[in-house]
Amino acid sequence: MRKIAILVLAMASALNAQDAAAPRIDSITQSDLRADLFFLAGDGMRGRLTNTPENALAADWIKARFERLGLKPAGPNGSYYQPYNLMTATIGAENRIEVNAASRRRAGQDFYPLRFSSTGSVTADVVFAGFGITSPERKYDDFAGGAVKGKIALVIDHEPGERDPNSPFDGVVTAQAANPLLKALAAQEHGAVGILFVDDVHNHPGESNFEAAARNAWPERPPRIESFTLAAWMEKVRIPAAQISFALAAQILADSGRSLEELSRTSETERGIAPVAITGARVELTTAVDRHIVPDRNVLAAIEGGDPKLKDEWVVVCAHIDHNGADGNGIFNGADDDGSGIVGLLEIAEAWTLAAADGRRPRRSVLFAAWNSEERGLLGAWAYTERPTLAPLDRITAVLNMDMIGRNEEVPVGGDARFRGLDLQTGESNRNAINVIGTTRSAGLKAAIERANRAIGLELKFRYDNNASNLMRRSDHWPFLQRGVPGVWFHTGLHPDYHTVYDRPEKINYEKMEKVARLVYQTSWDLAVGETRPKMTTQ
């Protein structure tokens, strides 16, 4: 009985600790958030675009703040920075494709090399491999059986059930497995010597404007914002990869007795297709893509836990540094996206250090992460999942990501493609609301957030996890979810100023942002001191 009583007391103590207000939570104030945001999202930062001096300055400023707080550097070699490489590409001179030694086409004429393609030349028979997806966790493989070894794989874009909310491929959210670069790596791993992509005609009927697509892929003039890829991924691709038109696909299939539409429809399976050899088609593919390294960096700091058994487990609190730069005198200040998240991160980090100074340390350790190049494809967060600096990813308890925490969601009548899949709603209707995206992947994490909100009083909206807006995969919690780590995105929602020059610090709802930052801090505290950690929910 005595042991039972002790156990009950211990459990009650743990629950009371989680229900108690996090220490020094009142240090998170809207006045501090406002002062920091007017600097970070001011015109002098010129939108903090990746690979610009202003982006580097913003990272230096965050590092200086972490250092002043006395937080431990969490990058490699005792640094606050985690360096990694991005990669850009330019098209070379020699890009061509021939089918059966005839009808040579050059880039822009029914084909173009993809930006992640290797440089090389191959001649081989063609095998149709459905969507070209390998997804072991779904027991799905379009390359099974070795049929593509030594061949050029012809695959269709996108994924099975792309409009089906019940699809195992993340419902109507575009699955990571459908990323063309990952398809190329899967084909390469199964022995393919090249890969050709074509639109999935059964889902997207009608001839597309292929020449326009080719121009967009390789514009004559360098765009204001370059296209970046994580170098660690791109360097793995060793085979030529190209996009082809419906017309060229029809030519490849001409002697096979099969149409592209027929093959596309047969690709809608639960476990993948058996690859189909295309008779009478031999393709010579030559690609020339020049790769260029661009250094980039995250800013990382930590506070160590005090429990010998739990201090090697981590709670991650994060936001992203970068935005979309400037176009002449038009500055994309990115106050909400994501200056708001970064200044919230700094306030939360300060509350943690003040608590530690008062002798209140967490049991688990806490990582404060300012990711870079989120706007370019979540590349800083992806880089961290490729090479975590402090512990393996399975030691991360949860990721609490703040991206756009300073406005009220507003979806206007006649909204453009930015608002695809979202219901009409006014800013006033969301004045006290916060979207929490990702909780369907962890019921325990959802419960922790609801508990933390009891004293905060925000209206929590658990939505958009399975929505055509693709919001679920549009911020830095996503890479962690793909690696089995519970993660959520705190997001006050899109609005007409999103990704425009009007996303400025004077438009922020600072009272609400204070509450959101306190909610994230309280959640991080509860997770860091609690007995148990949330688990991933089986989909």
pLDDT tens sequence across 429-452: 999 999 999 999 999 999 999 999
Q: Is the pLDDT of residue 17 over 80?
A: no
Nearest to 352 by CA among 31, 25, 86: 25
Q: Is the pLDDT of residue 268 over 70?
A: yes
pLDDT of the residue at 208:
74
Q: Where are the alpha helices (DSSP H) in 41-178?
A: 53-68
Nearest to 240 by CA among 196, 180, 291: 196
Domains, the chain: 21-84+294-529 (3.40.630.10), 93-287 (3.50.30.30)
pLDDT of the residue at 7:
38
pLDDT of the residue at 370:
99
Per the CB < 8 A criterion, the answer to whether 196 and 155 are in contact is yes
pLDDT of the residue at 11:
42
Min mean pLDDT across 81-90, 229-238, 412-421 is at 412-421
Report the run of H or E that residue 123 belongs to, with start and end: strand 120-128
pLDDT of the residue at 193:
98
Tell me the one-letter amino acid at 318. Answer: C
pLDDT of the residue at 102:
84
pLDDT tens sequence across 499-534: 999 999 999 999 999 999 999 999 999 999 999 999
In whole angstroms, what is the distance from residue 432 CA to residue 515 CA?
9
Tell me the one-letter amino acid at 533. Answer: R
Residue 189 to residues 119, 144, 146, 237, 252, Cα–Cα distance (Å): 18, 11, 10, 10, 24
In whole angstroms, what is the distance from residue 307 CA to residue 313 CA?
10
Ramachandran quadrant class, 484 (left: phi over 0; alpha: psi -120 to 50; beta: rest): left
Per the CB < 8 A criterion, the answer to whether 537 and 440 are in contact is yes
In whole angstroms, what is the distance from residue 222 CA to residue 507 CA?
33
Averaged pLDDT for residues 461-465: 98
Q: Is the pLDDT of residue 14 over 80?
A: no
pLDDT of the residue at 532:
94
* Average confidence score pLDDT of the chain: 95
Averaged pLDDT for residues 296-305: 98
Averaged pLDDT for residues 278-305: 97
pLDDT of the residue at 110:
94
Tell the residue number behind the tokens 């190209």, with chain if given.
Answer: 242
pLDDT tens sequence across 38-93: 999 999 999 999 999 999 999 999 999 999 999 999 999 999 999 999 999 999 99
Q: Is the pLDDT of residue 315 over 50?
A: yes
